[in-house]
């Protein structure tokens, strides 16, 4: 039997038990076949007898000693010899808590400062500091939100005026401007057909003031402008024979012939009939839109009372 | 087992070292540094002399907490040395390999022939120990160079006593085969 990988001289070597190994390792007397091993172990021990000079840090540390270790360590950066890990004392806890609190306060102040929610003096001081240190320029409130300029339509008043001017332009074709007192809408209840300059006051319910309004609205009729809501103020109820545009869409306005006559334009209307009256069909777009105060949707046009 | 170097003086030396006396620190270093350096050298540690200094810096930092005999002190020092070696190997494994440039500086006026023989003998010892596995080599060196008991080696390496016994037995068998093959007569 041959040991794989071993030379023939290795065959027949007695195994090494724990006791023999212990004797070898402790330098005791061993049998002859183990003498080379014992000699090697002696040489191994000899390698550990060479003196070793300490490094610079260690030499300084040892020369400093414990009595001077604090100052020596401070000078050389070498930690104190024998220094145990410092326990977590109350003072250290307070110190750490203070540092943590300072960090949190700084971050909070910075966040609030950048958000612009600090009190005014503090905010100004913060912006000055940030601008000085970083060069960052905080936008002014006017830059940020937009300065109130006076272009038309940029404030409430102007918007209202513009809207009124647009409405007025649509109605009269005149340039925009404030609506004169005489152009104000007729009071509720006035009927358009009665608002004409010479319209009959058949029902006798049109007040003198309404007639005054009729004078104001008469240019519309004379100009032949027929459109949504043109014939009267919103909410004006259509009486018998009213235009299809006056009231909500109904069967008469939608399908019936809107010719002159009782079912067409009212007698108070100007001689030029509106285009919608010339042809049957759908009402003028938007003419039947339910207006505030107007009749209910689907009420027959010209139904009157 | 090697006789203790300080013997009865050890408690006084230790107490003085714990009080910070430079002479006591130097005495402890002189007693143990050669063995620690030999252990690290045969383990083929990179820059063993620097590692020795780091080991003793760690020893002296924790010296005030030490309580025990000289043998226990020796075991503690080698435990630190072994852990430093393991750490250094892990650190070296993470960085790119660079073959260290070894410059042997001989002391002027010394016995050059003797140093040459020692150097050759040390190189040969290192090369033979390189045939062992890492665990076998560690156990063998801690037993022979550090003069630690089986129990102390087991504690230092984190192994069981039985494992240490098996490792040292196999290490000796490997050495014997190697030496027979080379027909070395020391």
CB contact under 8 A, A82 and B143: no
CB contact under 8 A, B38 and A47: yes
Mean of the pLDDT values across residues B179-185? Answer: 70
Residue B141, chain A, CB below 8 Å: the answer is yes
Residue B113 is predicted with a pLDDT of: 66
Q: What is the DSSP string of A228-261?
A: TTTTS-TTPPP-TT--TTTSS--HHHHTS---SS
Per-residue pLDDT tens listing for chain A (305 residues): 444 444 444 556 778 888 888 888 888 888 888 888 898 898 888 888 888 899 888 998 888 755 444 444 444 444 444 444 444 566 777 788 888 888 888 888 878 877 878 888 888 888 888 788 777 777 665 554 444 444 544 554 555 555 555 555 555 555 555 555 656 666 666 555 555 555 555 555 555 655 665 565 555 444 444 444 344 344 343 334 334 334 343 333 333 343 343 443 434 444 444 444 444 444 444 443 343 333 334 334 333 33
CB contact under 8 A, A50 and B65: no
Other CB atoms within 10 Å distance of the CB of residue A193: 26
Cβ–Cβ < 8 Å for B131, B174: yes
Residue B19, chain A, CB below 8 Å: the answer is yes
d(Cα B40, Cα B138) in Å, to the nearest integer? 10
CB contact under 8 A, B53 and A57: yes
DSSP H helices, chain B, are: 10-19, 22-42, 48-61, 70-94, 112-129, 134-144, 150-157, 161-182
CB contact under 8 A, A10 and B180: yes
Q: Which stretches does DSSP call E strand in chain A? A: none
Closest chain B residue to the Cα of A66, Cα to Cα: B20
Residue B73, chain A, CB below 8 Å: the answer is no
Q: Look at residue B13 and tell me whether its pLDDT is greater than 70.
A: yes
Residue B128, chain A, CB below 8 Å: the answer is yes
* Mean pLDDT, chain B, whole residue set: 85
Interface contacts A/B by beta carbons within 8 Å? 160
ipTM given for this complex: 0.82
**Shortest distance, CA A144 to any CA of chain B (angstroms):** 54
The residue that leads in pLDDT, B21 or A285, is: B21
The residue that leads in pLDDT, A78 or B71, is: B71
Residue B124 is predicted with a pLDDT of: 85
| CA distances from residue B36 to A105, A259, B79, B81, B119 in whole angstroms, order as listed | 52, 123, 10, 7, 17
Residues making up chain A, counted from first to last: 305
State CA B66 to chain mean position distance: 20
Residue B137 is predicted with a pLDDT of: 94
Residue B123, chain A, CB below 8 Å: the answer is no
Encoding tokens for residue B85?
Answer: 């070696």
- Residue A302 is classified by DSSP as T
| CA distances from residue A300 to A93, A249, B112 in whole angstroms, order as listed | 88, 7, 132
Which residues in chain B have Cβ-Cβ distances shorter than 8 Å to A37?
Answer: 172, 175-176, 179
**Shortest distance, CA A41 to any CA of chain B (angstroms):** 7
The residue that leads in pLDDT, B104 or A208, is: A208
Cβ–Cβ < 8 Å for A300, A252: yes
d(Cα B164, Cα B56) in Å, to the nearest integer? 26
Residue A209 is predicted with a pLDDT of: 59
CB contact under 8 A, A16 and B20: no
**Shortest distance, CA B99 to any CA of chain A (angstroms):** 22
Residue in this structure with the two tokens 């300059």, named with its chain if needed: A197
Residue A46 is predicted with a pLDDT of: 86
Instruction: Choose among B168, B40, B61, B37: nearest CA to A53.
Output: B37
Residue A111 is predicted with a pLDDT of: 82
| CA distances from residue B53 to A77, B36, B40, B43 in whole angstroms, order as listed | 15, 10, 12, 16
What burial class does residue A52 get, using C-beta atoms within 10 Å of its C-beta: 0-12 exposed, 13-18 middle, 19+ buried? buried
Residue A225 is predicted with a pLDDT of: 43
Encoding tokens for residue A276?
Answer: 């919608």
Residue A257 is predicted with a pLDDT of: 40
Phi, psi at residue A91, to the nearest 5°? -60, -40
Residue B50 is predicted with a pLDDT of: 92
CB contact under 8 A, A65 and B60: no
Cβ–Cβ < 8 Å for A293, A247: no
Residue B64, chain A, CB below 8 Å: the answer is yes
Encoding tokens for residue A241?
Answer: 């024979």
| CA distances from residue B77 to A194, A259, B10, B30, B62 in whole angstroms, order as listed | 119, 121, 14, 13, 10
Residue B176, chain A, CB below 8 Å: the answer is yes
Computed on alpha carbons and rounded to an integer, the radius of gyration of chain B in Å comes to 18
Across the interface, of B41, B49, B169, the residue whose CB is closest to A16 is B169
d(Cα B184, Cα B124) in Å, to the nearest integer? 11
Residue in this structure with the two tokens 């912006």, named with its chain if needed: A127
Instruction: Choose among A9, A7, A34: nearest CA to A23.
Output: A34
Q: Find which of A11, A21, A46, A76 to mutate to test the B interface (most B CBs within 10 Å of its CB).
A: A21
The residue that leads in pLDDT, B81 or A6, is: B81
User: With bands split at pLDDT 50, 70 and 90, how would you rate the model's confidence at B71?
Assistant: very high
Encoding tokens for residue A253?
Answer: 């306005």
Residue B162, chain A, CB below 8 Å: the answer is no
Q: Look at residue B27 and tell me whether its pLDDT is greater than 90.
A: yes
Mean of the pLDDT values across residues B46-54? Answer: 91
Q: Contacts for B79-83 with beta carbons within 8 Å, 24 or more apart? A: B79/B155, B79/B156, B80/B55, B81/B36, B81/B39, B81/B40, B81/B51, B81/B52, B81/B55, B82/B39, B82/B138, B82/B142, B82/B156, B82/B157
CB contact under 8 A, A43 and B50: no
């Amino acid at each position: 039997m041959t040991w794989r990988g071993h030379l023939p001289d290795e065959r027949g070597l007695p195994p090494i038990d724990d006791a023999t190994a212990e004797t070898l390792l402790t330098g005791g007397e061993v049998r002859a076949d183990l003498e080379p091993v014992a000699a090697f172990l002696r040489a191994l021990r000899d390698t550990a007898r060479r003196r070793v000079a300490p490094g610079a840090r260690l030499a300084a540390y040892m020369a400093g000693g414990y009595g001077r270790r604090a100052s020596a360590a401070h000078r050389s950066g070498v930690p104190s010899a024998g220094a145990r890990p410092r326990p977590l004392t109350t003072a250290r806890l307070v110190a750490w808590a203070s540092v943590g609190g300072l960090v949190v306060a700084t971050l909070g102040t910075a966040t609030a400062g950048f958000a612009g929610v600090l009190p005014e003096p503090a905010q100004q001081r913060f912006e000055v500091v940030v601008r000085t240190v970083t060069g960052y320029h905080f936008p002014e409130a006017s830059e940020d939100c937009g300065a109130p300029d006076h272009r038309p339509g940029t404030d409430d008043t102007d918007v209202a005026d513009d809207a009124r001017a647009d409405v007025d332009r649509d109605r009269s074709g005149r340039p925009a401007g404030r609506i004169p007192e005489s152009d104000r809408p007729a009071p509720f209840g006035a009927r358009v057909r009665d608002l004409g300059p010479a319209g009959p006051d058949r029902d006798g319910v049109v007040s003198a003031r309404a007639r005054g309004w009729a004078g104001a609205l008469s240019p519309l009729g004379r100009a032949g402008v027929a459109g949504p809501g043109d014939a009267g103020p919103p909410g004006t109820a259509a009486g018998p024979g009213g235009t299809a545009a006056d009231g909500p869409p109904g069967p008469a306005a939608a399908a019936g012939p809107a010719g002159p006559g009782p079912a067409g334009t009212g007698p108070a209307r100007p001689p030029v009939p509106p285009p919608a009256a010339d042809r049957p069909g759908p009402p003028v777009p938007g003419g039947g839109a339910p207006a505030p105060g107007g009749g209910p949707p689907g009420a027959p046009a010209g139904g009157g009372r | 087992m090697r006789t203790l170097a300080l013997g009865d003086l050890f408690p006084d030396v230790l107490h003085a070292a714990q009080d910070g006396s430079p002479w006591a620190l130097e005495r402890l270093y002189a007693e143990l540094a050669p063995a620690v350096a030999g252990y690290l050298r045969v383990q083929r540690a990179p820059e063993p002399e620097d590692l020795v200094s780091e080991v003793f810096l760690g020893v002296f930092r924790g010296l005030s907490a030490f309580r025990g005999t000289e043998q226990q002190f020796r075991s503690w020092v080698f435990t630190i040395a072994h852990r430093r070696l393991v750490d250094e190997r892990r650190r070296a494994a993470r960085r790119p390999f660079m073959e260290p440039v070894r410059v042997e500086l001989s002391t002027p006026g010394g016995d050059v022939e003797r140093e040459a023989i020692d150097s050759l003998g040390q190189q040969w010892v290192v090369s033979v120990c390189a045939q062992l596995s890492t665990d076998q080599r560690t156990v063998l060196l801690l037993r022979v160079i550090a003069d630690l008991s089986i129990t102390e080696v087991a504690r230092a390496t984190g192994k069981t006593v039985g494992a240490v016994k098996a490792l040292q037995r196999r290490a000796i068998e490997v050495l014997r085969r190697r030496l027979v093959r080379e027909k070395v007569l020391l």
